[in-house]
Structure 1
Amino acid sequence: MSAKRAAGLVIFRNVNQAVQFLMLQTSYGEHHWTPPKGHVDPGESDWITALRETKEEAGLSEEHLEIYKDVSKTLNYNVNGKPKVVVYWLAKLRDPETKVQLSDEHQNLKWLPLKEAQEISGYEDMKQLLTDFNEKAKLLL
């Protein structure tokens, strides 16, 4: 069985020389919190999916972001017993005051420092990804 693929961007902003991550709360299911991401459409690359989903879910396009293509991480896990692969890239919001515009897929958003973003993410693999990306983000402030 081939894994379902998804891709997204872990977006951070610089507020008073501190890293804050964008977390979105789904309006469906268990209302979990994640960075913007979504399923790869047939014939679409992971990269194009990440850009499309970020625009759809958060209203942020490539011009709003400084995307670090060399900083990525792939998560592998199961959803309802089926394998899923999600690729994330790190991205910095160029203007920390840029407003996020949620789609119907999400009901809330928060900009959070590492520990709080990890707490609401709930999953160990996402907590580790955020730790890794936080280290990189601190160097990019």
Structure 2
Amino acid sequence: MAKRAAGLVIFRRVEKHIQFLLLRASYGEFHWSSPKGHVDPGEDDFTTALRETKEEAGYSEEDLIIYRDNPKILNYIVQGKPKVVTYWLAQLKDVTKEPKLSDEHTEIKWLPKDTAKEIVGFKDNQDMIEEFHEFILGL
């Protein structure tokens, strides 16, 4: 059975620029990703996404406009085991509110789409950022 995880792809608009929030992991290959984490027993994916975002970036549901109607589901293999991650797009309401770094990460960056895609590395994650960016442009 696949391990489930969930998170939020957070963006902000600074003047006319769209920036995505990425966190650098403090473990493994120190990869960059949006706030996310494993689904706890009895928890639904959306609740996990909210909890993990609060723990990893310090943002609560009240800080965000969450677009719940178009989640992206990524399927991949981690250490030989299947993993399914559900992401929702979320806009930071107050662009001046800085994220709070947890001990799970060593660095936080707000990045434009192309730079964000570059540092996440994985094709499915890059495609998700591109799709969410297109959605944002249509808002």
TM-score scaled to structure 2, two decimals? Answer: 0.98
1:95 corresponds in structure 2 to: 94
Distance in 2 (CA, whole Å) between partners of 1:26 and 1:117 is 15
2:131 corresponds in structure 1 to: 132
1:122 corresponds in structure 2 to: 121
Distance in 2 (CA, whole Å) between partners of 1:4 and 1:97 is 35
Write the letter of the residue equivalent to 1:115: D
Deviations 1:60-96 (A, max 9, x none): 0001000000121000000000000000000000011
Distance in 2 (CA, whole Å) between partners of 1:111 and 1:126 is 16
Q: Give 1:16 deviation, angstroms.
A: 1.2
Distance in 1 (CA, whole Å) between partners of 2:59 and 2:127 is 25
Aligned residues: 139
Q: Is 1:46 aligned to residue 37 of structure 2?
A: no
1:11 corresponds in structure 2 to: 10
Distance in 1 (CA, whole Å) between partners of 2:95 and 2:69 is 22
Write the letter of the residue equivalent to 1:117: A
Q: Give 1:139 deviation, angstroms.
A: 2.5
Distance in 2 (CA, whole Å) between partners of 1:10 and 1:132 is 11
Q: What runs of 5+ residues in structure 1 fail to find an aligned partner?
A: none
Distance in 2 (CA, whole Å) between partners of 1:57 and 1:37 is 8
Preserved CA contact (<8 Å) 1:25 1:33: yes
Write the letter of the residue equivalent to 2:9: V
Q: What runs of 5+ residues in structure 2 fail to find an aligned partner?
A: none
Preserved CA contact (<8 Å) 1:7 1:39: yes
Write the letter of the residue equivalent to 2:10: I
Write the letter of the residue equivalent to 1:134: H
Write the letter of the residue equivalent to 1:92: Q
Q: How does 1:52-63 map to 2 (within 5 A)?
A: 52-63=51-62
User: After the TM superposition, which parts of structure 1 deviate over 2 Å for at least 4 consecutive aligned residues?
Assistant: none
Identity of aligned residues (%): 60
